[in-house]
Amino acid sequence: MEDIKGDKIPGERPRWEPKLDFTPRQIYDEMSRFVIGQERAVRTIAIAAYNHIKRIIHPNDLLKKSNVLMVGPTGSGKTHIARTLAGALNVPFTVTNATDYTEAGYYGKDVEVMVAELLFATGGDVRAAERGIIFIDEIDKIARRSGGQRTGASGRDIGGEGVQQAILKLLEANRVFVPLNVTQHWNKHDFVPMEVGNILFICAGTFSDMKRGRDRGDIGFLGESADDKSTYPVAVRDLESYGLLAELLGRLPVIVELDPLTDDELMHIVTDPPDSLLREYQAMFEYEQITIEMCDDGLRAIAAKARERGTGARGLRAMFEEMFHDLAFTAPERMGENVVVDADFVNANLVEAKKPRRREAED
Ligand SMILES: Nc1ncnc2c1ncn2[C@@H]1O[C@H](COP(=O)(O)OP(=O)(O)OP(=O)(O)O)[C@@H](O)[C@H]1O
Ligand SMILES: [Mg+2]
């Protein structure tokens, strides 16, 4: 490992050894252990990652950077897929929120801080950070706002279009000066130059109220009465009318669309991944020798309730906490019990949310 000045730290094994000999299929297979459903999206990401690695190993001016834009409903796996990709490739990863940034010179973070956060995640390993993945969430929240709704000084759109411009510049940059002191960024004198040309950027948003199929001649008397427009695939034009800059979209050539998760997929998410909620909760009660037996109708009831709550897989963890609240409290008094989680158990323990639930923190 090297520290930020490029000096070797003796005796330390490099923590980040990117796996550079993956095929798209291998990336897909590795990711599919953790990601349920979303096959098309994961395949597209696997191809983008593969091309990205190819570009790093065999630089070629004709190969364009395959930065990604993910569009999908809440809790469908946008952050999860990006994080899983970083894990599969063994490269550093950071999640950042587009709404935290402002146009340079205004109160708020400068976009260079994104790279600083990535560097921070490596513990100062510049070389590793230069091949990392930056996930920019809520990109839909910095869409250009129409005249009347503008806020900020003298009608400038410093939090919307201004940030898009700043992100665009970062995506186009080869080298940026990264502030080392992220927490006190008013203290702007410590910088490290970093090559950012090989950082993979993945932007994501729900774009929940985006109109699809607009300007494509599908709206008319027939079009109006035709099926729900949300079944149209996202087109660059839709994203532009939503308020993303054409130039920014040009730098995000890979558009990945995620579907809402079905009940079956939600059921698999509870049980299948190596770090699934069910495994986690079974491990939690191992010490008390309490076994948790998940029945099919219990699983189905959980999935149905998660779908009703409309938060996709995001709501599952909160539901598990609620369901096992009583057991967690009484576990030491119930040593060795076998707890059967069937539909009755689920319905008895999952009280319908009476008060608005706190949105689960980004994991
Ligand atoms: N397709 C999936 N396969 C497996 N687990 C998933 C999937 N989608 C979501 N999850 C689980 O649900 C959690 C929340 O999902 P995630 O944070 O990826 O949602 P999101 O699409 O980013 O939503 P938001 O728009 O609200 O940020 C993840 O941490 C993961 O545990
Ligand atoms: Mg997310």
CA of 347 to the centre of ligand 1 (A): 24
Residue 69 parent element (H or E): strand 68-71
From first to last of its 363 residues, what are the pLDDT tens digits of the chain?
Answer: 444 544 454 555 567 877 778 899 999 999 999 999 999 999 999 999 998 888 888 888 888 888 999 999 999 999 999 999 999 999 999 999 999 887 666 666 788 899 999 999 999 999 999 999 999 999 999 998 764 444 444 455 656 888 999 999 999 999 999 988 765 555 556 889 999 999 999 999 999 988 887 555 555 444 444 455 556 889 999 999 999 999 999 999 999 999 999 999 999 999 999 999 999 999 999 999 999 999 999 999 999 999 998 999 999 999 999 999 999 999 999 999 999 999 999 999 987 644 455 555 545
Distance, CA 361 to ligand 2 centroid (Å)?
10
As beta bridge partners, residue 292 has 339
**Are 156 and 237 found together in one domain?**
yes
Residue 205 alpha carbon, nearest atom of ligand 1? 25
Ligand 1 pocket test, pick from 314, 358, 363 with the greatest ligand atom count within 8 Å of Cβ, gives: 314
- Give the number of domains in the chain: 2
Question: 80 C-alpha vs ligand 1 centroid, how far in Å?
Answer: 5
Which atom of ligand 1 lies at the shortest distance from residue 72's CA? 21
Say if 355 falls within a structural domain.
no
Q: Whose CA is nearest to atom 19 of ligand 1?
A: 75
The answer as to whether 6 is a domain residue is no
Tell me if 203 is assigned to some domain: yes
Which among 101, 228, 117, 217 has a CA at the least distance from the CA of 169?
101
| Domain C-terminal end among 257, 279, 310 | 257
Taking the centre of ligand 2 as the mean of its atom positions, its distance from the CA of residue 202, in whole angstroms, is 11
Same-domain check for residues 309 and 289: yes
Instruction: Give me the long-range contacts of 333-337 (CB less than 8 A, separation at least 24).
Output: 334/288, 334/290, 335/288, 335/289, 335/290, 336/288, 336/289, 336/290, 337/290, 337/291
Both 173 and 149 in one domain: the answer is yes
Pair (304, 246) in one structural domain: no
Q: Is residue 287, in this structure, part of any structural domain at all?
A: yes
Whether 275 maps to a domain, the answer reads yes
One domain, residues 41 and 159: yes
Give DSSP secondary structure letters for 271-321: HSSTT-HHHHHHHHTTTTT-EEEE-HHHHHHHHHHHHHHT-GGGGHHHHHH
Residues 50, 177 within the same domain: yes
Residues near ligand 1 with C-beta < 6 Å? 35-38, 72, 74-80, 206, 269, 273, 313-314, 363
Tell me the pTM. 0.84
Domain span at 214: 24-257
Q: Is residue 30 included in any domain, yes or no?
A: yes
> Are residues 35 and 99 both part of a single domain?
yes
Whether the Cβ atoms of residue 328 and residue 287 lie closer than 8 Å to each other? no
Strands annotated E in 107-224: 133-137, 175-179, 191-195, 200-205
SS3 207: coil
> What is the CA(70)–ligand 2 centre distance, in A?
10
